Amino acid sequence: MTSKTIGFIGGGRVTRIFLEGWQRANAMPAKIVVSDCNADSLAKLKARFRRVDTAPGNSAAAASQDIVFLAVHPPVMAEVVAGIKGSLKPGAIVVSLAPKFTLAKLTELLGGFARLARLIPNAPSVMNLGFNPVTFDLSLTAADKTELTGLLAPLGECPEVVEPKLEGYALLTGMGATYLWFQLQTLREVAAGFGLSEAEVAPALKRMVCGATRTLLESGLAPAEVMDLIPVKPLAEMEAQVTEMYRTRLPALYQKIKP
């Protein structure tokens, strides 16, 4: 558990993901301050995480901690960042959890403050199974990096990547679960209609998904060979439509979130 104090600017989904992951791993930092303009969101957060301090409408309270997470959406990032630059400690580390805003742009908005990192959060961090790629500004020391990666370790993997790759990871890992969850939940429900209990469906579904992924990535077979392993494909006539959605919608979104 870190001895550093933690601040979150924004008390929405991504903040809840981090707090849930730390709590599940029994690794909750000793002091966490969360600010948000939505008092109801903070009240719900406080009800779930009693040890967290909340600061409705007071971003300075969160910004004055040792490690500060910018947990806001890109459309409001510039306004939020400009508003906290006078509240940061000189030795603080500021971590952006949003795409689009580069380290250079954040430094500019913060009036030259460069002790920064950027991270693409991953929802399975609530289960300590996240994949959260991070980029560090050159101004951070090895000790700074160790401090931050140690804080993030209970959430899952935290590989260091080059900054231009982050938006690609946002589409692959940050949003990737949303492409699959509704399909897996539907399959879960349909399987129950076949007479399988939840105790039977859950391990079978988990093993099938993990096994299918590893077969595609690790078997050494070409993708076409993997997809030919099963002769009966009940959804075959819909594959072209789904593939086209991936190939059109995701690149279009990538263009929007690129710096």
Domain count, the chain: 2
- DSSP E strands in the chain: the ranges are 6-9, 32-36, 53-56, 67-70, 93-96, 116-119, 130-131, 134-136, 156-157
- 219 in any annotated domain: yes
Per the structure, the complete domain to which residue 91 belongs is given by 6-165
Q: Is residue 82 located within the same domain as residue 199?
A: no
* 182-209 pLDDT tens trace: 999 999 999 999 999 999 999 999 999 9
Residue 98 located in a structural domain: yes
Q: pTM for the full model? A: 0.94
Residue-wise pLDDT tens digits, 160-185: 999 999 999 999 999 999 999 999 99
Q: Are residues 18 and 44 in the same domain?
A: yes
Structure tokens belonging to residue 4: 């550093």
Is 170 part of a structural domain of the chain? no
Q: Which residues pair with 6 in a beta bridge?
A: 32, 67
Say yes or no: 227 and 161 in one domain.
no
Question: 210 and 189, same structural domain?
Answer: yes
Q: Report yes or no on 85 lying in a domain.
A: yes
- pLDDT attached to residue 1: 64
Which positions ≥6 away from 127 have C-beta within 8 Å? 21, 24
Q: Which of 141, 165, 189 is the last residue of a domain?
A: 165
Predicted confidence (pLDDT) per residue in 48-99, tens digit:
999 999 999 889 999 999 999 999 999 999 999 999 999 999 999 999 999 9
**CATH code at position 12:** 3.40.50.720
